[in-house]
Structures are given as C-alpha cells and as structure tokens.
A and B are shown apart, each in its own frame.
Chain A
Amino acid sequence: MIRKIHAVLPHILFVLLIYLILQPSLEGTDEYWALLAVVVAIELALLVKRKSLVAADIGIIVFLFLIVWEYLTAKAGVKNPLLYPAPENVFAIFPEDYEKILEGVASSLRLMFTAFGLALLFGVGLGLIVGLSDRLANTVMPIVRVVSPIPPIIYSPYAVALLPSFRSASIFVVTMTIFWPIFMNMVLGVREIDRKIMDSARTLNLKKSTMILQVLLPYSLPGILNSVSVSVSTSFLVLTAAEMIGGTSGLGWYIKYHADFANFTKVIFGIIMIGIVVTLLNALLAALKKLLIRWR
C-alpha cells in the first residue's frame, strides 16, 4: 500500500506542479513554455524509470522543490524577484541565450577533453616509466608525495604568468588536477601488481612490450578509470573557477559576467547548466568504464 503511494506520488506532484504553473502569475514573470518543457521532460524520464523507487524518490524531491520555488516566486511573490527569479524566467534564458550557452559548454568541454587527453598520455606514460624502474620510483615517489597534494588551482596565478595564453594556463591547471591520480594509479598498478598475476605472466616469457600492453595496462585500467571519475567533478570545478577568474568564454565566465551585472536569473541558469554538464561527463565516464572493463 505504502509502496503504491510511493510510486504514484511523483506523478501526483507533477500534476499539481503543472496546475500551479498554469495559474496566472505575477507581473514580470516570463512565458512558461520553457519551464513546462523541462517539467514534462523530467516526468517522461520518471515514466521510463517507473520501476525504480530511487527514481521516484528523486522525482518527489525535484517536483516538491519546483512547486515551492514556483509558488514563492511566480505566484505568491514573497521575495525580491531580482534575487529570487521565478523558474519561468530562469528556463526562458535557454531559448533566449542558447547560442552563447552552447558555445560556452562546447568551449569548456573542448578544454576538458584536451586536458584529459594530456593527463592520460603523460599520466600513463610517465607512470609506466617510473613504475618499471626501482631506482626512479624510489627517487621520484617521495617527491611526488609532497608535490601531488598541492591543489593545482593554487599555482594557477603563476601558470597564467608563465604560459602564453589564459587558455593554455587553464589547460595546464586542469591537466595537473587529473594527472596526479592517473600517474599515482599507474605507478601503483605496475609496482604493486598481484604477485600471483605477475608470476603467471612471467612464466609465459612475454616480451616487454607485451607485458606492458597486455598485462600492466589492463591490470591498472580499473584504478585509472576510477581515479578519473573521482577527479572529473573536481577538475570541472577547477575549470569553471579558472574561467570565472580570467576567462573570456565558458560557463564559469558566463556566470561571472552576468553576476557582475546582477543578472541572477542568468547566474542561476548557468549553475544549472554546470550541474547538467558535470552529470553528463560522469555518465560518459561510467559508460566508458562499462565498455572497457567487462571482466569483473
């Protein structure tokens, strides 16, 4: 019985929310089409996932939040609409500003992918080189343990001064954020590989290149991908922070730019977009992990 109510509750809230949106709004509230589109999209997603109680829970929370937000701003108008914009206004930004926003997302993503590529290349490459040599590992790892915990955002001002453009400085800082965990995981994978697996590999008389490509890399891959998925959110945060400080494009810049004009409707919209982009990046990584690691 309770389960049944639990399952239909988000849909009841959906109907309530739609009803509320369709009621006349206060002056200054935009057209509700964009908001309606978003709400219906969420409801459709819930219908697809209707077997999942977790999805139902999330739906309940999201719809409740939207109902409260919609009521307090567009209908009751209890607060200053400049600081607390109605959801209609926030979502109406998209059709209005979508070229600039998509451009910002694309610019941020291009930078992220460049940084990921570089971090993967150098993390795996240097990790292998250091991991495979006792002498290098014994020398380098104590230094790495001191340097790696320093958040790369700390040395971003210096990077900006040294590197030719702000963009290259951002790429450097984001790359460093992801590089360390990949590098550490690779060194660890090579040096602390299960002795039983190593013994069994050695009995096959592998060439060094085969040992690296077919044993050490696949063995370390799960650790590397896990560290990447942990650092993907952090690195996006670093990137948007960098864009806020000195960028001329990207989502961080978009938010900072409109905050300077006290256009908090656009600021909130930018924040929501960042949430969506981070979620998409995480989903992409999860899919990649599933594709590459089918063996456990």
Chain B
Amino acid sequence: MSKIDLKDIFLDYQENGHDFHALEGVSFSVENGEFVSIIGSSSCGKSTTLNIMAGLYEPKSGSFRIDGVETRGTGKNRGVVFQHYSLFPWMTVKKNIQFGIRQNFPGLSKNELSNKAQEYLEKVGLRGFEHKYPYQLSGGMQQRAAIAKTLAMETDILLMDEPFGAVDAKNRVILQDLLLNILDSTDRKKTVVFVTHDVDEAIFLSDRILFMNRKKIEREIPVPFERPRHRERLALNADYQQLRRKIVDLFYYDEEENLHELEGGAGI
C-alpha cells in the first residue's frame, strides 16, 4: 500500500461566476519514505495539487488516500512548508516552532517544549536567533525556521511548495543540503512531496520526479542516483546530465506543441 495515493483528482476554481478547471485527472502515488518532486511550468496546478494533499482544498472528484484511508481536510500526519508565511509574523522564531509542536504534542511540559524547539532550531543552524521576529530574518533564514517548525511537528508526511523559491542561488544550495542531511539523519523515514521549478533541485533531492503538464501528471521519471548524493560529483556524472537534458526537453517539447496548437487553432 502506498503512503499517499491520488486517483483521478479534478478541481475547479470559481472565477467571476464560472468554473475554471485547475486539475483534470491528477493521479500518482508516493511510497512510504520516498522523496518525490513535482515539477512543471507555471500555473500547471502544482500548488493546487499540494494544497489538496495538505487538506486545504477539497477535490471536486477523485480519490485522495493516505495509508489507504480516504482523506479530507488537514491532519496531524502532514506538515506543510510554503514559500512565504509558514511563520506567524507576530511570534518569535522559537515561539513559532513551539506553537507548531504544541499542536501535535499537547501533553508536553513547558520545559520539554522549549528543549524540543531548541533542538530543531539548532538543527537548522538558527542558534542565537531564537528571539528574533520573522521580519528580522533574511528570506533564507525564515525558510530555515519554517523547516524547523514543520520538522519539529514530527509528521510522517512533509509537503513543501517551492520552499526555496524566494531564496538566492547560494543559499538555495545550502538549504537543499541541509534538508537532505536532516532527512537522512532521522531514523523514522519521512515521505516528502516537494514542488519546485528548478530541475537541478528536483534531481538532487528526489527519488522520483513527477512532471506535471496540462492539469495532470504527464510523466514519472525515476532518479536512480545513490544516496548520500554529492552535488559536485553528480554534476560530472554523464547519466545526471542526460537525465537533466531529458527533463529540460520536456518543458520545451511542450512549448513547441503549444505553438503548433495555437497555429492550428488560428487557421480554423
């Protein structure tokens, strides 16, 4: 049984009175402990798909199962990191982390709460920033804190929507390494679904890449490289370069197809 299973998911958004089809038959599964990336061009429905898994939106039709159980709404088995605002601006970094922990572990004493928050804070390298407010941190540090908060909730499933999308190139690489290191170092394997635009990021992090296009998952691409992965060595690997080319081509291939469609359409 897969950890996460989506079958034939449809979703419409209401827009000026009429329905806009955002997802048209999204199907895929994620195995327990697997790291899967969803990649695809803008507006293809990546965030919408992730938000359904988070329980923020309800599909119009289709089945969404976790551990085989049909699921609707948010739940303590899933933690979510967004590109922005995963932290409450009115709480300090540590308070934010503690707040997340308290929701999933209501029985903890004040001390245990503080220790647990501190532990995750230090895992993401934010020692010394405990009492800063989010606005006092750089974008990269905010995302570190967001990751610490979500990891500290110790959910089975981690859903991430372009968590490094607003971070500069150098910090992006640092954060990718940090995320993999933390995931590798925990004994209980987490199941991760990670939305990104960045082909290299997707390959470096994932076991499998889902290429999304035209409101559904169009391809599933396995990423066969062994872990732990080394960025520099991977970049020199011919297989890596071939895989990378293949995925980049998927983006362009589709654009050409769209062009043909447009031309054909204009002719009629």
Which range holds the interface residue count of chain A? 20 to 34
Give residues 56-87 of B contacting A (CB, 8 Å): 56, 74-76, 78-80, 82, 84-87
Determine if A206 and B103 form an interchain contact, defined as CB atoms under 8 angstroms apart: yes
Known contacts A214-B99, A296-B133, A199 near B82 by CB under 8 Å: yes
Of residues 224 through 258 on chain A, the ones whose CB sits less than 8 Å from some CB of chain B are none
| B25: min CB distance to chain A, Å | 24
8 Å CB contact of B80 from A200, A293, A296: A200
Q: How far is the CB of A288 from chain B (nearest CB, A)?
A: 16
Q: A206-B103, A295-B90 are in contact. Are A200 and B133 (CB under 8 A)?
A: no
Is B20 interfacial (CB 8 A cutoff)?
Answer: no
Q: Does A194 contact B56, Cβ atoms closer than 8 Å?
A: no
**Interface status of A5 (Cβ within 8 A of chain B):** no
User: Is A196 interfacial (CB 8 A cutoff)?
Assistant: yes
Does B89 lie at the interface of the complex (its beta carbon under 8 Å from any beta carbon of A)? yes
- Chain B nearest CB from A247 CB (Å) reads 41
Asked if A215 is an interface residue, CB under 8 A from chain B, the answer is yes
Q: Tell me the count of chain B residues lying within 8 A, CB to CB, of chain A.
A: 27
Q: Are B88 and A205 in contact (CB under 8 A)?
A: no
A10-28 near B? 1/0 per residue, CB < 8 Å: 0000000000000000000
Residues from 170 to 211 in A contacting B, C-beta threshold 8 Å: 194, 196-197, 199-206, 210
Given contacts A218-B90, A295-B90, contact A199 B100 (CB under 8 A): no
Q: A218-B90, A295-B135 are in contact. Are A202 and B103 (CB under 8 A)?
A: no
The answer to whether A196 and B90 have CB atoms under 8 Å apart is: no
Given A204-B100, A205-B75, A295-B90, the answer on whether A199 and B56 have CB atoms closer than 8 Å is: yes
The 8 Å CB contact of B88, one of A215, A221, A294, is A215
B90 pairs with A219, CB closer than 8 A: yes
Partner of A294, one of B55, B85, B86, B133: B133
Contact A200 B103 (CB under 8 A): no
Q: Does B143 contact A (CB under 8 A)?
A: no
Residues of B within 8 A of A196 (CB): 82, 84-85
State how many angstroms separate the Cβ of A163 from the closest Cβ of chain B.
Answer: 39
Please state if A200 and B135 are interface contacts (CB–CB under 8 Å).
no
Interface residue B48 (Cβ < 8 Å from any Cβ of A): no
Give every chain A residue within 8 A of B213 (Cβ-Cβ): none
Is B37 among interface residues, defined by CB-CB distance under 8 A?
Answer: no
Does B26 belong to the interface (CB within 8 Å)? no
Distance in angstroms between the alpha carbons of A196 and B162 in the assembled complex: 14
Contact with A along B91-102 (1 / 0, CB 8 A): 100000001100
Residue of B at shortest CB range from A218? B90
Does B54 have its Cβ within 8 Å of any Cβ on chain A? yes
Question: Which residues of chain B come closer than 8 Å to A219, judged between CB atoms?
Answer: 90
Across-interface contacts of A201 in B (CB, < 8 A): 88
Closest Cβ–Cβ distance, residue B64 to chain A (whole Å): 15
Q: Tell me the nearest residue of chain B to A197, going by C-beta.
A: B85
**Complex alpha-carbon distance, A162 and B192, angstroms:** 65
Inter-chain contacts of B85 with A (CB < 8 A): 194, 196-197, 199-200
Provide the residues of chain A in CB contact with B55, threshold 8 Å: 202-203
| Residues of chain A with a CB closer than 8 A to B135's CB | 295-296
The answer to whether B56 and A202 touch across the interface, beta carbons within 8 angstroms, is: yes
Residue B196 is within 8 A (CB to CB) of chain A in the complex: no
CA–CA, A194 to B103, complex, Å? 21
Most chain A CB inside 10 Å of its own CB: which residue of B78, B99, B153: B99
Asked whether B90 lies within 8 Å of A200 as measured between CB atoms, the reply is no
Q: Complex Cα distance A201/B135, Å?
A: 18
Cβ-closest 5 pairs across A and B: A196-B85, A218-B90, A203-B80, A295-B133, A295-B90
Would you list 25 pairs from A and B whose C-beta atoms are within 8 A, ordered by A residue?
A194-B85, A196-B82, A196-B84, A199-B56, A200-B80, A200-B82, A200-B85, A200-B86, A200-B87, A200-B88, A201-B88, A202-B74, A203-B55, A203-B56, A203-B78, A203-B80, A204-B100, A204-B153, A218-B88, A218-B90, A294-B133, A295-B134, A295-B135, A296-B133, A296-B135
